[in-house]
Structures are given as structure tokens and as C-alpha cells.
Amino acid sequence: MVDVVILAAGRGSRMCSSVPKVLHKVAGLAIVDHVIRSVSSIAPANVVVVASEAVMTREYCGCEVVLQSAQNGTADAVMRAIPYIRSEEVIIVCGDLPLLTAEHLEELTNSKADIAFIATELPCRLMRMPYGRVITKDGRFVKIVEYADAADSDKKCGVINTGIYKFKTSLLAEMLRKVEKSEATGEYYLTETLGIAQRLGMTISIVENGDYEAFHGVNTMKDLAIAEGIMQNRIRNTFMDLGVRMLNPESTFLSYDTEMESDVTIEQNVVMGTGVKIRGGAIIKAFSYLEDCEIGANTSVGPFARIRGSSRLERGVTVGNFVEVKGTMLGENSKAKHMAYLGDTYVGSNTNIGAGTIVCNYDGVNKHKTNIGANAFVGSNTTLIAPLNIGSGAIIAAGSVITENVENNSLAIARTAQSVMPNGAEKVWAKKGKHIIK
Ligand code: UD1
Ligand code: MG
């Protein structure tokens, strides 16, 4: 059995942000939640070390949440977790590695050494990234030198510490007590324990993994942007492998929990926030923004559409340009093709919502619901003042302001009657001094 400790209490000062570093999101999920998910298949994380309960609570993550109120370094953070470690072995993972997956941890879990850690080799272009350097001599591990403390010759070494370790629990506390403060930063480094263990003759295994991108640590906003880019590519590739067509993958932005079936088509510049499910044959046209919604089979959304707030579009629905749909269900084959707002509305099947229809769901204090039946026709530029029921088969004349319920199969007209004065225009033109040639 192995326990897992996640270190997430760092100040994150290099982010220059008021948001704790590990709560910044990658593909819509907090960095630390990515780490919790990736370790969960080898062993559920049982301790997360945080700086405050604002970052994580036991109720939220289901694991022990330990506070490290003064950020004295990674060794100090692990020290806080020691009383909660029950198994003979413990895996320690830095909480700022959102691209890690369970596969990357497999080899580490199998190691029989007293201490094992994952190292990776950086390509030349990333050589200046300030990771801890793994120093070896004649193929044997010597120590890890933090970038801030490293000599120029050590900085040229491309093998870095990824921040993922496995310790025999019985040795860990002893090693931690021997760590001395870094002169450069005043912190106690967990990485020091490895050099100490080496000098004491313990067995140390370097588990090398070539997938350096997966161990990308987020320390700055630039690192966060890089992590987002790598994660987006991963998610895009997963969906393209499943038969989703993306006309320009680089401009399609997805979330960690996006679900799409094969034969979905995504045009250019589409963003999906969290909670989006799209069934096969749907097309999401350019410049659309979707979040928290279910899009049925063979629907057409956009261009320039916004769908959100637990909305559901059934099979064959069309939501066209400049249409916003919030908290709304559109039944099979219903259409809202141009410039409309549908909020907190239920629309039956085969109903047409005309251009410029606005559902007034908010009265400044409360939100109200609107029901529109099947086979109804809502004419263009209609204002529907909720709460409201429009029956099935009803017709609403264009330009109406509807404040009262409309029965099934009724025709409602709620607009000022038109009056026409024959030749009235002529008189007006004359007054203005303009003569009309007949
Ligand atoms: C750390 C490693 C470095 C490695 C790199 C990999 C140390 C000293 N260095 O450097 O060798 O190459 O990760 O990404 O461990 N944390 C706490 N309490 C603290 C300080 C940090 O919980 O007092 C947490 C942070 O929230 C973070 C993790 O520990 O999740 C690593 O800390 P960070 O400051 O990011 O260390 P790096 O400089 O990236
Ligand atoms: Mg880091």
C-alpha cells in the first residue's frame, strides 16, 4: 500500500496573482484538482498540504487537508503531512503539475529503492527553465541542486527533477530532520533529503521519463499559458481520434470535462467552458461560446451563438447567429435562427422563434419561467414578458409585447393598430419644402 501526499501550500509568488497558484485553472479545472485526478488511479490522495482552507477543504477533496501556515519550503510542507501517513511507502507530488497522468507514475510505484524520483531530460530550448538539476557522477546519483543555488555548469545539465518522489515512510521523517535551510532562499528543500540519503548509503533510483511536457510545472503566468496550450492539444487530439471534425483545431478551446460524439463538426474559433455534451452530427459554427449545456444530435449552433446555464437542445434544433440561450430547453426540430434571447424557457418541438424575439425573464429582482408549446410560431421582434405560457400551435404576431398567457392554437396580436392617411406623406413633404415628382 502507498499513501499520496500533494504539496499545494506554496506562496506562488512568481504568479503575481491574488489567486492561490494551485487554484488557477487549466482547461477549466484547478491545477491541484488535475493532480488529485491523475494520482487517484494509483492510490487516492490522502493528504493535501495547503496554505489555507480557502484553497481546499476535506469536504471538497475527500482527503486529509493539512495546513502549512508559514511557507518554509517543500521539506517543511512534507513534515506537516507526516502524522497522517499510514502506509509503508509514500508518493509525494508537487501540486503544480497539471499535465501529469496516472501512466507517468506507474514506473515510480514499482520501484523497490529506498527513495525513487522521476527525472526527465529537457530539450535545449527549455534549458533555462528553473527546475532542480539532477547531478550524477559515473552514472550514479549524487544530489539535486535547485536552480537558484546551481553553479553555471550544473544549469547546463538538462536532466531535471520533476517534483515527484516515492519514499519509504520509515526513512522520510529522519531525512527531513536533517535538511538545512537554503542560504539563497531561506527555505527547507525536500530535494535536500535525496543528497543526504545518498551520503547515508540508501538506495536511490532515478526513474527517467522522456515525456518532459507532462512534467511541466506551473510557477508563472507564462507557465500557465504553456500548460493550457499543451492540455488543449491533448484534448483536441483525443476528440479528433474519436471522429470529431475540427476545421481549425488551434482555435477550438475545450474543457477537461467536454464530451463529444463522433461526427460532431466544430468550425473555427469556438470556445467550450465546462459541462458541455454534444451528440453526433451536430455542427457548432464559428465564433460560438458554449458552457453547461447539452447539444442534441444533428443540431446546428451558431455562428456567433451563446449557449449556457443548463440549456438543452434536442435533436435537429437550429440556434443561429447572435442567439443567446440560457437555462432553456429547445424541443426537437425547433428553431431560433437569428438574434434572440431565450432565458429560463421551455420550448416544445417544431416551434419557430422569430428573429429578434426576447424573453424578459428577469424583473430586476427575480427570474421567471416561460413555456412555449410544440408547433408554435413566435413572430419576429416579439417580447415575451415572463412568467408566461404560450400554448401549442399558437401564433404570436410579429412585433407583439406578450404579457398574458396564450391558449393552444390561439393567435395573439399585441401591437398598436396601423393607421394610414392616404396622401398624408405628400402634405408632410410639402411642409418641409420638398416637392415630390409624381
Ligand atoms: C520544485 C522542486 C524542483 C523541481 C520542481 C519541479 C523543491 C525545493 N524544488 O521547484 O527541484 O524541479 O519543483 O516542478 O522542491 N509548496 C508547499 N509549501 C512550501 C513551498 C512549496 O506546499 O512551503 C508546494 C507548492 O505549492 C508547489 C510545490 O510545493 O505545488 C513545489 O513548490 P514550488 O515553489 O513550485 O517549487 P519549484 O521552484 O517549482
Ligand atoms: Mg513549481
> Could you read off the pLDDT of 267-284 as tens digits, one per residue?
999 999 999 999 999 999
Is 211 in the same domain as 65? yes
Question: What pLDDT shows up at residue 242?
Answer: 98
Ligand 2 centroid from CA 217, angstroms:
5
Question: What pLDDT shows up at residue 20?
Answer: 95
Nearest Cα residue to atom 33 of ligand 1? 10
Q: Judge whether 430 lies within some domain.
A: no
Phi and psi at residue 394, to the nearest 5°: -75, 155
Q: Judge whether 427 lies within some domain.
A: no
Mutate to test the pocket of ligand 1, among 4, 5, 7 (most ligand atoms within 8 A of CB): 7
Span 310-335, mean pLDDT?
Answer: 98
Q: What is the pLDDT of residues 8-21, one digit of tens each?
A: 999 899 999 999 99
Nearest Cα residue to atom 35 of ligand 1? 219
Q: Which residue has the cell 424573453?
A: 359
Closest ligand, as measured to the CA of 95: 1
Closest ligand, as measured to the CA of 70: 1
Is 178 in the same domain as 324? no
Q: Judge whether 275 lies within some domain.
A: yes
Span 215-244, mean pLDDT?
Answer: 98
Q: Judge whether 232 lies within some domain.
A: no
- Cβ atoms of 181 and 74 within 8 Å: the answer is no
Is 62 in the same domain as 182? yes
Across the chain, what does the average pLDDT equal?
Answer: 95
Q: Count how many domains the chain has.
A: 2
Is 207 in the same domain as 257? no
Residue type, 432: K
| Residue 401, all three cell numbers | 409585447
Q: Judge whether 233 lies within some domain.
A: no
Mutate to test the pocket of ligand 1, among 7, 23, 74, 145 (most ligand atoms within 8 A of CB): 74
Is 304 in the same domain as 198? no
Is 164 in the same domain as 300? no
Q: Is the pLDDT of residue 123 over 90?
A: yes
**What's the CATH number where 251 sits?**
2.160.10.10
Is 96 in the same domain as 181? yes
Mutate to test the pocket of ligand 1, among 79, 94, 115, 194 (most ligand atoms within 8 A of CB): 94
Closest ligand, as measured to the CA of 12: 1
**What's the CATH number where 68 sits?**
3.90.550.10
What is the domain extent for residue 355? 243-412
Ligand 2 centroid from CA 171, angstroms:
24
Is 332 in the same domain as 248? yes
Alpha carbon 289 to its chain's center: 14
Question: What pLDDT shows up at residue 435?
Answer: 75
Catalytic residue IDs: 338
Is 194 in the same domain as 274? no
Is 278 in the same domain as 175? no
Is 153 in the same domain as 195? yes
Nearest Cα residue to atom 1 of ligand 1? 163
